[in-house]
Amino acid sequence: SFVVEHCRICHDALCLLMVALMNRDSPLGSIELNCCYVDDEAVKFITYFFTDNPKMTPRKISLACNDISDVGYFFLSEVIGNDECKLEEISLIGNDCGLTGIRSIVSAAAGREIPMKKLDFPADFMADTPDQLQEFVEFFSLFPAFVPNCTQFYCGNFEVSRDALHALGNMLAKRSSPIRALHFNVSSIESDGIVTFLRTFLENHIATPNSIRIGGYSIRRVSVGDLHVVLGPLLQSCLCSLESLTLSDIGQISDNEMIHITSSLDGNTTLKRLDLYDRIPSACVVDRLTSLLCDETTIMSTYNSNHTLNDLGRHMTDPKLCSYLELNKKTPDKGLVATAKVIKVHFAHNFQLGNFDSMKSPVLAQVVSFVNQGFHVWNEAFNVERDLESEGGEEKEVANNNLTVNFLMVRNIPAFFDYVKPR
């Protein structure tokens, strides 16, 4: 391999490098010239050697974060499209290139008899007119496998139509696997355009991206319509892989819609971030969200609450709600999260030893084991107050709550150890 990074390479140095490569008995495994101020002229020079000597092409070329434009992409496409070349991977991220350049290398890669293993190019697309957005969708509908895994659109001062979003969804439906992220920075979207876009995932029975964000700093109008009607089934679908959904800065979601959307999260185990609000939510929305994260009705309803959601945007500031969000976020083991919530709601307040006293031996053993498993998670997560107790002249930190005392009493019942069998 030949690797140079963060260093300006002049054309004379490139000439010496290419001559040295051509004199080798076998090609290099990779050439990486990242952040080296490589421009279109340098790319033309590099591809000239590989076009004349395709068998000396390395398996990997990385030209990330340079000064390559559409012209340089065109030169590279001649190497990519040559089936005699051994090239398997190419990285061009961080270069200033438009759809014209990307079209040339994608078309070349798609025409190869032996498919490339990896083709990375800039995933940020600028669309100043509706025609440019349509051009992107139409082109990648022909080559959906080459849609970047993390795609971000910057749409200029025009209204994105429902038809364009529907076509974009249908384009993604042609992929064999979902992309990881799709972000839209827009100034305006036609009425119900978001609903139309999300519905395409249901209509085509395809997995969603891990992250969807639609918003913008200067957003004028985005109508969500009956967002809960489509978002509910989408979040309940077995094909839902959404981990983050952000429709920020839209300001048109009513409390009733938010409550309906929250209800659809009862059985969802994938979504971690949901940001739909650009204002402080009302008390009824906060109560519903709190109930979603910790349903206090029964022990089983608490245990079966949502233990995945951990971010509701910057406007969710209610202390109780935030404590559950933080617990979901910092505890990977969702079984421990559920146990900690059960202890907080059903064991920590007005808890009496009589509840233990009436249990039969096997049940008591299981309950005490359950409490022991989640006690430390609960104790840390909900900031149990602690006092300093003097013991033998030394101060000892003890938890200031009834559960600790009751639990230790049960653990110290001599008869308890008679029927707890060691593993």
pTM, rounded to two decimals: 0.72
The pair of three-digit structure tokens given for residue 299, joined into one six-digit string? 């022990």
140 vs 207: CA distance, rounded Å: 18
Cβ(193)–Cβ(224) below 8 Å: no
Weakest-pLDDT range from 23-32, 74-83, 393-402: 393-402
Task: Answer positive or negative: Cα dihedral of 335, 360, 355, 420.
Answer: negative
pLDDT digits (tens, 9 = 90+) for 263-309: 888 888 899 998 876 677 889 989 999 999 999 998 889 989 999 99
Mean pLDDT of 365-394: 56
Question: How far does Cα 302 stand from its chain's mean position?
Answer: 27
Q: What is the mean pLDDT of the chain?
A: 80
Q: In 3D, which of 406, 287, 298 has the Cα closest to residue 346?
A: 298
Q: In 3D, which of 158, 236, 223 has the Cα closest to residue 197?
A: 223
140 vs 170: CA distance, rounded Å: 11
Measured between its terminal Cα atoms, the distance across the chain in Å is 54
41 vs 109: CA distance, rounded Å: 22
Mean pLDDT of 217-227: 55
Per-residue model confidence (pLDDT) at position 267: 81
- Write the DSSP assignment of 367-395 as a string of letters: HHHHHHHHHHHHHHHTT--EEEEEETTEE
